[in-house]
Amino acid sequence: MNHRYEGLLVLNLKGKEDSAQKVIERLEKDFATEGAKVESTQKMDQRHFTYVKGDLDSGYFVNFVFSAEPAALDKIKARFKLDGEVYRQQYARLHAKQKAAA
């Protein structure tokens, strides 16, 4: 059974800010490869971190809303954990869309 999820990804685009759209398109393809269907993508632009850990002081925030099997979510997390351009990732399960009363 597919569930709806919201995924917030922080991208490490240091030195290659011009290629943000290409990275986002690649990530959408990665979602599809793992069996997820992306409903919407919200680009939230470059933001500075409140607390800096390491040499990265800012990241490009992108919010994905998608539907997938719970097992597919685990595959997505594992895939993006190994991706050098994904700095952080966080997922939350959303409630199913309710149809409007007729």
Is 86 inside a domain boundary? yes
Residues 5-30 as b/e (b if ≥16 CB within 10 A, e otherwise) read bbbebbbbbeeeeeebeebbeebbeb
Mean pLDDT of all residues in the chain? 91
Is 102 inside a domain boundary? no
Is 99 inside a domain boundary? no
Mean pLDDT on 87-98: 88
Q: What is the pTM of this model?
A: 0.86
- Distance between CA atoms of residues 35 and 21, nearest Å: 22
Is 100 inside a domain boundary? no
* Nearest in space to 21 (alpha carbons), one of 97, 99, 85, 87: 85
* Nearest in space to 65 (alpha carbons), one of 1, 20, 3, 5: 5
Is 68 inside a domain boundary? yes
CATH code at position 67: 3.30.70.60
Tokens representing 99 are 């149809």
Mean pLDDT on 22-27: 95
pLDDT tens for residues 53-63?
888 999 999 99
Q: 48: domain range?
A: 3-94
Residue 36 has pLDDT above 90, yes or no: yes
